[in-house]
């Protein structure tokens, strides 16, 4: 989903800021007589993302890719766990580097929302009126996502945040008219949609806000015709993993984000 979703974003070209500019991307496949065996996409400054066809790791195919990357600087890799570890080992041995885990992840998918989940509050699209708090929530979300950091930059430029409003993919959850949580959609495929940006300020947590919010936007996606919702979690956060499973998300596989040093 990340690879195909990013390519769709780049092809649309409606936002070419930062990593979204395809002119800076690395896109590659490795093939043999049986067809494509490995697909790679890197959107600098992010890690290279890999998918081995049918999740089958072939050493000669990985070796071919590494040969082809000889003149490219690769900051790290994100992929299904076994593939990420294998590629990282082979790449760093050849380059005289080491690698370390940035995030131990799990991928979930949902096809039916648990009907027993308590749903309350109101979910609505993010609007211009939310700008007094929304940029701070976004930065807090990214700080927490970046390995538990508690410090975040103070937003200075409204442009990036107003663009997110225009995408109409982010939702604010209100309890008695008060914004208390948010969640939204990321990459969109024909049959699946990604769920992300799940954030509740610390002083509003443990009240069921995120659970109700995610359950509602997941159901909204299914009602729109998507067959499934997909999300990533950080295995270091047992709370979020527990919440998603209660909603109806089922583990599919583990993923690793590794950095090269």
pLDDT digits (tens, 9 = 90+) for 75-97: 999 999 999 999 999 999 999 99
Say which DSSP state 14 is in: S
Q: Would you say 164 and 170 are in contact if contact means Cβ atoms under 8 Å apart?
A: yes
d(CA 147, CA 2): 20
Q: Which domains does the chain have, with CATH numbers?
A: 2-97 (no CATH), 110-254 (3.40.630.30)
d(CA 68, CA 63): 9
pLDDT(34) > 80: yes
Among candidate residues 204, 234, 237, 231, the one with its CA nearest the CA of residue 215: 231
pLDDT(146) > 80: no
Alpha-carbon distances of 81 from 4, 176, 202, rounded to whole Å: 19, 42, 31
d(CA 140, CA 174): 18
pTM score: 0.88
Report phi then psi at 214, rounded to 5: -65, -40
pLDDT digits (tens, 9 = 90+) for 168-201: 999 999 999 999 999 999 999 999 999 999 999 9
Say which DSSP state 227 is in: S
């Amino acid at each position: 989903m990340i690879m195909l979703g990013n390519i769709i974003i780049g092809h649309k070209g409606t936002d070419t800021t930062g990593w979204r500019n395809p002119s800076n991307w690395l896109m590659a496949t490795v093939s043999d007589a049986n067809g494509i065996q490995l697909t790679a996409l890197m959107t600098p400054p992010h890690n290279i993302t890999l998918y081995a066809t049918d999740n089958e790791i072939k050493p000669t195919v990985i070796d071919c890719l590494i040969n082809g990357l000889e003149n490219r600087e690769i900051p790290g890799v994100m992929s299904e766990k076994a593939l990420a570890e294998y590629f990282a080992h082979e790449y760093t041995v050849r380059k005289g580097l080491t690698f370390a885990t940035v995030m131990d992840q799990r991928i979930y998918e949902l096809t039916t929302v648990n009907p027993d989940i308590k749903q309350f509050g109101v979910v609505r699209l993010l609007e211009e009126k939310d700008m007094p708090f929304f940029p701070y929530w976004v930065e807090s979300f990214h700080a927490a996502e970046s390995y538990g950091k508690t410090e975040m930059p103070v937003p200075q430029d409204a442009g990036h945040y107003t663009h997110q409003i225009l995408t109409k993919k982010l939702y604010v959850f209100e309890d008695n008219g008060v914004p208390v949580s948010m969640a939204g959609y990321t990459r969109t495929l024909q049959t699946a949609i990604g769920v992300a940006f799940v954030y509740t300020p610390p002083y509003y947590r443990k009240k069921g806000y995120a659970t109700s919010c995610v359950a509602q936007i997941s159901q909204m996606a299914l009602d729109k015709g998507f067959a499934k919702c997909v999300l990533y979690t950080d295995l270091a956060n047992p709370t979020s993993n527990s919440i998603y499973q209660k909603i109806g998300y089922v583990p599919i596989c583990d993923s690793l984000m590794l950095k090269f040093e």
